[in-house]
Structure 1
Amino acid sequence: MIRLRVDDDSLGRVRLAFSPLWETIGSLAILARYPGEAPSPYSRWVRAVRCGLPRHLVEGLVEPMRRADLPLFPQGSVPLPSPARSTLEAELMEMRVRCEGNSADQLCGFLEQYWDWAIARHWNQMRTSLEEEILFRGRTVVVSGPEAMLNELGGRVLWSRPFLTAPFHRDLEVSVTSSQLLLVPTVFAGGVRLFLQEPGVVAVSYQARATGFFQVLTATDRATPTEDRLALLLGSGRAQVMRALKMPQTTTAVATSLGMAKSTVSQHLTVLSASGLVWKLRLGGRVFYQLEHGGAVLLQRLGY
């Protein structure tokens, strides 16, 4: 368990940022942690990546991730996420500076190849989803304050002033005093929770929730007996859209996750909004949709 004692000054300096490198490390941890069938929600992605993954990447990245006595990433080699380094190339360049030598060059080369194999084709959608996550969490900070945002992170991340606690591979207690608390949403937080501390900054990853792409990446069979009950009430299309709105999403994110045309999803959302089951909120240039109280109650009563 990781336990962060956050003082008031640091609480007022909470920031969010995504990281292609942190996503890469998290995805490798999932492959390493589950040598057989991976659990939901990662099983589909794991099967696709493992099919033909080059052996030298298995031996050079996946297998070393399993060995606690020989860390794949030397201490201090992984940089803090930064808007100034929003690409894997930029983050690996910083890693090479931090950890010079042939071993660093080989590790970065393997990571580049693995990225191309496992993540690159998904990254545009992943990045959009993570940006939406950050936008929505940032809006909560502005409107309701940082404590409200910390209370909503979920994924067994708990805020009880002044402590932020989360599952971790070892017990760790850190005082965050007059520092920036950097929260890093990741799709692949189920593999490992990353934590870094540098002068003036403490960074920790958490599972991104308000991401439409996460549903695409980890899709499982949707057909269950209870789904038919909602479809009987609303129709199949609107039922699918409602189930996708347990966390705020844009029309594009919902359409991508369900494999529907954006225009079709928009029509369903218009009906659901007019019925009082869904609300919409404009943040910047994006419009988010989420269940109203009545919609949430309806899903709850049907067993969702």
Structure 2
Amino acid sequence: MIRLTVDDATLSTIRISFSPLWETIGSLGILARYRGAAPSPYADWARRVRNRLPEELARTLVEPLRRGDPRLFPPGFVALPDPTRNTLAAELAHVRETNPGDPAADRLLTALEEYWDLAVAPYWNSIRSSLEEEILFRGRTLAVAGVEPMLAELGGRISWSRPVLTAPYHRDMDLAVTRSKLLLVPTVFAGGLRLFQQERAVVAMSYQARATGYFHVLTAREPAQAAEDRLALLLGKSRAQVVRALDEPRTTTAMAQSLGMAKSTVSQHLAVLNDSGIVWKQRLGGRVFYQLDQSGITLLRELGI
């Protein structure tokens, strides 16, 4: 368990940023933690990745992480997320700069690049979109309600009881965070392991992005024609298309463009779905985003979608 005692000066510096490298390591944590079938929402993703993952890559990345081998990611190897390095290539280039002439680091970086191409890159557009919406949502709460309500709503067994922020971790850690910067890093793959990093006057910790529980962000899947037909029978063909398009938060305009429908038609479908509890809407800034509610997620799960 991590217990961070956070002072007022640090509370005022909290920021949120995503990291492709942290996301990649988190996904390895899913494969390392679950030898067999992974739980939802990772089941389909884990099955496909395991079927394609070369044995050598599994021995290099997954097995050492499963054993808790500290040599896999030695101290200082995994850098703090930085918005100026928002691609995996940029993050790995930074690691190479900080570990010049290190053959072991070069081999690990090459393995991570190969793994990224196979396991994360096919899903990255959807994942990144969900992370950006997560940051927008938390930033809105931070601006409107303040930092403490935002911390209290993080979920994922993270709890805030002033002045202590508590989160599950693989070992006990008590840390006083005083006059520092606290960086929260949302990840889709936080179900595998929690990443924690302290560097100079910055403390960074990953947490479960809320989108993972509500949307199918790992969307590269085989078509399920029979299930889709059942959904169309229940809701109508056009309305079923709208529901399936809500694999991540979307505006009416974005859905109309992606589905090739009139904006007014999509708006009518969303109004019905919202009234029935299948979707709900959230205003963020000047835009309104629609997303599947829990009943909508349950409906798709029952139909095998």
Q: TM-score, normalised by structure 1?
A: 0.80
Residue equivalent to 2:150: 149
Q: Which moved more, 1:15-24 or 1:40-49?
A: 40-49
Report the number of matched residues. Answer: 284
Q: Structure 1, residues 45-71: CA drift from partner, whole Å, max 9, x if none? A: 000101121222111111111122443
- 8 Å CA contact 2:250, 2:291 repeated in 1: no
Say whether 1:268 aligns with 2:269.
yes
Any gaps of 5 or more consecutive residues in structure 1? 223-227
Q: Which amino acid in structure 2 is aligned with residue 109 of structure 1?
A: T
- 8 Å CA contact 1:248, 1:288 repeated in 2: no
Q: TM-score, normalised by structure 2?
A: 0.80
Q: Which amino acid in structure 2 is aligned with residue 48 of structure 1?
A: R
Residue equivalent to 1:23: 23
- 8 Å CA contact 1:195, 1:204 repeated in 2: yes
Say whether 1:6 aligns with 2:6.
yes
Q: How many Å separate the matches in 2 of 1:110 and 1:297?
A: 40
Q: How many Å separate the matches in 2 of 1:213 and 1:105?
A: 37
User: Structure 1 residues 288 and 169 mapped into 2: Cα distance closer, same or farther (>3 Å)?
Assistant: same
- 8 Å CA contact 1:37, 1:43 repeated in 2: yes
- 8 Å CA contact 2:141, 2:150 repeated in 1: yes
Name the SS of the counterpart of 1:66 in structure 2. helix
Q: How many Å separate the matches in 1 of 2:294 and 2:120?
A: 33
Name the SS of the counterpart of 2:52 in structure 1. coil
Q: How many Å separate the matches in 1 of 2:140 and 2:170?
A: 31
Q: Which amino acid in structure 2 is aligned with residue 183 of structure 1?
A: L
- 8 Å CA contact 2:252, 2:289 repeated in 1: no
Residue equivalent to 2:227: none
Q: Which amino acid in structure 2 is aligned with residue 127 of structure 1?
A: R
Pairwise CA RMSD: 3.6
Q: Which moved more, 1:95-104 or 1:272-281?
A: 272-281
Name the SS of the counterpart of 1:217 in structure 2. coil
Superposed structure 1 runs of 4+ greater than 3 Å apart: 210-214, 234-245, 251-255, 260-267, 271-280, 295-300
Say whether 1:191 aligns with 2:192.
yes
Q: Structure 1, residues 7-59: CA drift from partner, whole Å, max 9, x if none? A: 11111111000000000000011111112111222111000101121222111
Map 1:1-304 onto structure 2 (within 5 A): 1-100=1-100, 101-210=102-211, 214-217=215-218, 249-251=249-251, 261=259, 263=261, 266-272=267-273, 278-283=280-285, 286-289=287-290
Using the aligned pairs only, state the percent identity. Answer: 60
Q: How many Å separate the matches in 1 of 2:68 and 2:174?
A: 20
Name the SS of the counterpart of 1:205 in structure 2. strand
Q: Which amino acid in structure 1 is aligned with residue 9 of structure 2?
A: D
Any gaps of 5 or more consecutive residues in structure 2? 225-229
